[in-house]
Amino acid sequence: MIFDALNELVVDISPLVVVTATVGLLVFMGFLTFKSVSSDNVLSGVPELKGVPVLGAVPMYLKYGMPQLVSKLITIGNDGISYANVVTNVLVSVHDPAMVREVLAYPEEIASREGDSGYMSWSPFWTLRRLIGNSLFNYVGPETNYRRNAFIREFNSTKSNSEKFDTITKLARAHTNALTGEGSTAEVDNIRYSADIFAIALWGEILYGNPNNHVGGHVLSLSDTIIHLAGNPWSSIWYFFQLLLKLVTPGESTRSEAKIRARLAKVVERNMEKLEEYEHNNPDAPLKIIRRLSVMTGGGRTGPLSKFASEFTNLNLFGGHHSIGLNVAWSLIDLDKHPRCLAKLTAEINSVDTTHFTNVNSNMPYLDAVIMESNRLHPTVHATLRVINRETTLASSGRPIVLKPGMLVYLSFLHLHTSPTLWGPDAGEFIPERFLSGNKKHQPFMPFGYGPRSCVGYKISILAIKVYLITLLKTYKVDVKDHGHKTKVGTLLQTMKPVSVKVSRRS
């Protein structure tokens, strides 16, 4: 009882008290549970960010967060790699494009997202599995490719997305019109929230026949909670403390995590009720996507979903809409700061029949360039992490660097996207034209990942972003109120504060 109460209240404890207690805990953990690693032979010849005895860089991590810690690692790793000890684990920052591509191309047998569930892991995916259950994030081996291909057929194929275009357009029109209702102008407190709501409604409709998936705010609130916990180091620390005291079985959820899973289950149950209602009322209509995924993986045309499709119901509630909301918000901020770019985009929108899928998908090069440039500067998922499972040599490093089991490899897309070395002295500026002739090989662009674990739904997300932006800019003149939005680097790359705008209907 005491530990369950602590588990639920730990986030409210004074940070100073938590830091003090955690330092003691980590020292204890270091002596009891980790293999010793001598700093002299960890990664010979690779720059090391020095920390404090036993704890290494942990105090820095807990005080400033992983992105700031990695920023320091990048600063000292001039040749694309550096490391720091985290207690007696090793955190490796790989920030050379070739090395990043190599690590992301490793099969799961060599590098996975989680590591061993019975030992301390700083990977956010360790926490995520306990919050939402198994998903495509966790699977390894040949089975993974089959699952990925099912998603790709539904969300990354031109044919499939063309079938969704009318639905996306209809929902974008309804949600943008709702910004002012019957009026001609409105003050929108947070345009990202409005775009998130559109995206949640879109996923609800195409998956279950539930365009009211956003009503009540349950999905957005739940998703924000999961993202916060998955990216918070205290979640991993507290879980490991309970593992040490045998208060939880490795891999199982704590009581507070189980409560989140119960909330997820209620939302999924409501969606399944909507699906069954839709199927009952429309027996001859095409199957909704969640049903198609289920049929593809052994489920029936009615009744319970296949295991694969059922797992996706949880995964989709956690993600799938943030990239749309954040892309819309950052694009509007960038365009507002650069009136010339906004004028070029508006001219293109007005010159193209945007009611046709092919035009929106393939014949709007400046819109594509705007979205790509915004993703370069503000990738929603700004970094990823891999846990080394089997000893391997980093071949692209140009010298023998051996990555050993248990090492955590952190890969920063944000650094690759904004490095003056890779993109030139104007790397920090918003210049969509740089993408009109295609990006060059030495300019790494990975807003949706790279290799066998890249995003399986990025094309439908890009299509939804395009349609929402087109509809918004054709319907309204949009004025972003604050021109000084700063970046908040957390689990996702967000704005420091809400993006408030004024929208005025065009005549």
CA distance 295 to 9: 43
At 124, phi and psi to the nearest 5? Answer: -65, -25
What Cα–Cα distance (Å) separates residue 414 from each residue in 445, 447, 486, 490? 9, 8, 15, 12
Q: Parallel, antiparallel, or unpaired: how do β-strands 402-403 and 476-480 relate?
A: unpaired
Q: Parallel, antiparallel, or unpaired: how do β-strands 501-505 and 185-188 relate?
A: antiparallel
Q: Parallel, antiparallel, or unpaired: how do β-strands 89-94 and 81-86 relate?
A: antiparallel
CB count, 10 Å around CB of 311?
21
User: Distance between alpha carbon 293 and the CA centroid of its chain, in Å?
Assistant: 22
Report the residue count for the chain: 507
- Full 3-state SS string of 75-143: HHCCCCEEEEEECCEEEEEECCHHHHHHHHHCCCCCEECCCCCCCCCCCHHHHHHHHHCCCCCCCCCHH
Q: Which of 411, 385, 489, 450 is CA-nearest to residue 96?
A: 411
CA distance 137 to 248: 23
Secondary structure percentages of the chain, helix, strand, coil, to 5: 55, 10, 35
Residues in Cβ contact with 47 at an 8 Å cutoff, skipping those fewer than 6 apart:
76, 77, 78, 81, 82, 83
Residues in Cβ contact with 324 at an 8 Å cutoff, skipping those fewer than 6 apart:
195, 196, 198, 199, 461, 464, 465, 468
Instruction: Copy the structure tokens of residue 67.
Output: 């992105």
User: Distance between alpha carbon 436 and the CA centroid of its chain, in Å?
Assistant: 26
- Angle formed by the axes of helices 218-230 and 191-208, to 10°? 110
SS3 505: strand
Q: Parallel, antiparallel, or unpaired: how do β-strands 89-94 and 408-412 relate?
A: parallel
341 appears as a binding residue in the annotation:
no
Instruction: Copy the structure tokens of residue 412.
Output: 């920063």
Q: Which of 118, 119, 117 is CA-nearest to residue 128?
A: 117
Residue type, 160: S
CA distance 505 to 507: 6
Instruction: Copy the structure tokens of residue 349.
Output: 């929108």
Under 8 Å between Cβ of 326 and 378: yes
Q: List binding-site positions.
A: 455
Q: List binding-site positions for heme.
A: 455
